[in-house]
Structure 1
Amino acid sequence: MAIIINPDRTKPWNALPELPIDPNIYLDVDILLQLGDSKAALARLQGRSIAIPNQGLLINSISLQEAKASSAIENIFTTDDELYKAYSEENVSQVNGPAKEILHYREALWKGHQYLQEHKALDIEYFVKMYRIVSQFNDGIRPPVAQIVIKEGGSGPNAGKVFYTPPRGAGIIETKMDNLIKFLNDEVNYPLDPLLKMAIAHYQFEAIHPFRDGNGRTGRIFNINYLTKKGLLDYPILFLSKYIMQNKEEYYAGLAGITQRGNWKNWLLYMLKAVEVTANITFDKINDIITAKEAITDAVLVNTDIQRPDSLISSIFTQPFTRVQHLVKTGTYAENTARKYLDQLTEMGILEKRSIGKGHYFLNLELYRILSE
């Protein structure tokens, strides 16, 4: 199968090849060895997450970190403090700035997961829904009049120059998205390992660039949603974007390598390695969180007379910042009791009380440390 590359970065690449790719590309010793390592790491993570008594304690914070890392790839930055405080607000609509965009990403991550659990197959509506949540626009597939080009960032000699021009024209994007979706759903004609399909589909989606904005974030949400759809994970708890953020130049070089040279191997190895590394990181974080939770539970049982301590400990491990009203609204404690118990945990060095405006937040120091590492 001949390799087709983009001959002119400044013109729409309407000749972007349809899927599937040549099987000889991924039937490669290096790729197959890395695929085995990645699948083993993911299976270990899945096995560990199943053993957690209440996965909801960990899922909120872990998925929020994924949202933060993915948004940082798009130069949307916020501090952990700002993010967790924003997430702990009762009315998220009052949150502004980068933290709000990250919360939109997390919302899309979860709604995408739920959507794919409720539907038998991926469809164009899934991608449009994810785009609308992360971008906060109400449109869909970009029209032919949208003159979208990808330019070099940074401040180097090529900054501002056209890096890539995605396909454009009446019906072209729709046709290419139909092909991508068929490739993902059709296991009879395209019986490919889900990790390889995810990596191939991620490139194809970014190359099609179907929306005006938010394509990178939508594509990374798809990565994790697809893994849960295929049963490789129960919940979207993989820190995949952390690896991409830490190896950002390789990420963009891998995408460009396919477009400009037809080099699929480097891209597939990169994405498979990302799965392996982040599965191991997430596995370790889950173990650290469980260990911290057990140690704090033991300390509370031995040193306090707190009633229903399991409920209190579960609450402070759902997210790093807790407020009195969180415990009141969930019916865990009355207001005075909630305040008393949170103050007790503060005196024990488990929480740190912080004042923001007229309100008070209680920071779970161990959970915050683990997630920030």
Structure 2
Amino acid sequence: MYIYILLQWNMKKTSNIPPLLPPNVDYLKLIRYLSEANNALGELKGSLGLIPNQKILATPLLTKEAVASSKIEGTQATIEEVFKYQAEGRKNESISKEEDIREIINYKYAIEYATTLLEKRPLGENLIKALHNILLKSVRGETKDRGNFRRIPVHIGKPGSTIDNAIYIPPPVMELPTLIGNWEKYINSDEEPDFLVQVAVSHYQFEAIHPFLDGNGRIGRLLIPIMLYQRRVLNYPILYISEYFERNKEEYYYNLRLVDEKEDWTSWIIYFLKAIKVQAEDTKNKVDKMLSLYKENKDKIATMKSAFGIMLLDIIFANPVVSFPMIREQLSSSSNQTIFNLLDKFVNAGILKELTGAARNRIFIFKDLMDIIK
């Protein structure tokens, strides 16, 4: 990714080779921030534990994280557009919008895939290459050696910039094996007294190494909830931290550069811990609202006396914008009329709202859920 933030630094003309991990971290300056971030994550984990089927309620939040992370890269698609695209099952968008949406969907698939891979292997080089392969499939950057570490030097700066006026020059290719090996050893170790510091340090180091030709920012942000899930700090990888990074983008890049230029780990880690705290609290708030909404609608459905009511409720919690073909594929009913009747009941009960106003190819939105996750 090219960074579009202009920072006032003395530009380096040589490659930056970050020191090997672990770094020297002043924990005394982090005590308050660590306590607040860990408490917020603990409360979020508690709320997640109350959800009967975490994957159903987690899917919209995974999509939200994917939208926020991709937005940092310049995509313009909204979360509603992503769900609508998936519900329609056909290409009604412009080429650029469709590429944005596919990039977001790839990000979500990558997180979901990582949760299955972590059951078989530790987080490391092979896994991040597999995630990179998914992330760049059929989107911009696909031709940039997808799934492989870069084999040529790169530099980061404004569009059209040269190495002479680059904002940052990542390590040369010959340094990658040593740096990645050290990074992999560090993230799977117990060297840091607090795991959140380890996540913060590993995120900086990954971005500093810049191992891929493209997609480093997306992979680096994706690894944050994955690491929290791997250590069971969270029992599902939902923490849309990219929203905080996107909202505080200049501060994000500023603090990363402080580590580059001054080895100021404290400022970066404090920024990171603030992001964890804020987003954990916000995610918990959304999870609590979603759980309440689920119970409320479950009570409504009980009066419908339909064997498929709860099944449809689960479908629309995972996919807040749905179409008849999508429901028919997932609902174990052989009767189209049963599905039509159930959709009408959901509309009459105020659970779903029909978007198109057409007699055929109708699209329905679960607006109450969309209002929570937007």
2:295 alignment partner, SS class: helix
Cα distance in 1 between the residues matched to 2:104 and 2:149: 22
2:137 is the alignment partner of 1:133? no
Gaps of 5+ in 1: 1-5, 155-159
2:368 is matched with 366
The count of aligned residue pairs is 350
Q: Structure 1 residues 139, 350: closer, same or farther in 2, change over 3 A?
A: closer
> Partner of 2:364: helix, strand, or coil?
strand
Amino acid at match of 2:172: R
Which amino acid in structure 1 is aligned with residue 12 of structure 2?
R
Give the superposition deviation at 1:263.
1.5
Give the structure 2 partner of residue 157 of structure 1.
none
Q: How does 1:31-110 map to 2 (within 5 A)?
A: 31-90=30-89, 96-110=98-112
CA–CA separation in structure 1 for the residues paired with 2:88 and 2:276: 32
RMSD: 2.4
Alpha-carbon shift at residue 28 of structure 1 (Å) = 2.2
2:167 matched residue in structure 1: 163
| TM-score under structure 2 length normalisation | 0.87
* Separation in 2, partners of 1:59, 1:346: 24
Q: 2:5 — aligned with what?
A: none
- Say whether the 8 Å CA contact 1:87–1:103 is kept in structure 2: no
8 A contact 2:125–2:180 mirrored in 1? yes
Task: Give the match for residue 151 of structure 1.
Answer: 157
Output the CA distance in 1 between the equivalents of 2:311 and 2:148.
43
Looking at structure 1, the residues matched to 159 and 254 of structure 2 have their Cα atoms a distance apart, in angstroms, of 13
Q: Could you tell me how far apart the structure 2 residues matched to 1:122 and 1:312 are?
A: 36
Q: d(CA) in 1 for partners of 2:234 and 2:113?
A: 16
Retained in 2: the 8 A contact 1:316–1:364? Answer: yes
Residues 212-251 of structure 1: pairs in structure 2 closer than 5 A: 212-251=213-252
1:89 Cα shift? 4.9
The whole-number CA distance in structure 1 between the counterparts of 2:11 and 2:327 is 59
User: What TM-score does the superposition give when structure 1 sets the normalisation length?
Assistant: 0.88
1:241-279 superposed Cα distances (whole Å, 9 cap, x missing partner): 111111111111111111122221111011111111111
Separation in 2, partners of 1:335, 1:85 = 21
**What's the CA shift string for 1:144-184, capped at 9, x where partnerless?**
xx231110479xxxxx94110000133x1111100111111
**2:40 & 2:210 partners in 1: Cα distance?**
30
Change (3 A) 1:169 1:316: closer
Structure 1 residues 139 and 370, CA gap change in structure 2 (3 angstroms): closer
Q: 1:3 is matched with which residue? A: none
Letter of the 2:251 partner, please give it: E
Are residues 356 and 209 of structure 1, via their aligned partners in 2, closer, same or farther at CA, if it must alter by over 3 Å? farther
Mapped to 1, the partners of 2:112 and 2:13 lie a distance apart of 36
Gap regions ≥5 residues in structure 2 = 1-8
Residues 26 and 32 in structure 1, CA contact (< 8 A), matched pair in contact too:
no
Q: Distance in 2 between matches of 1:192 and 1:256?
A: 24
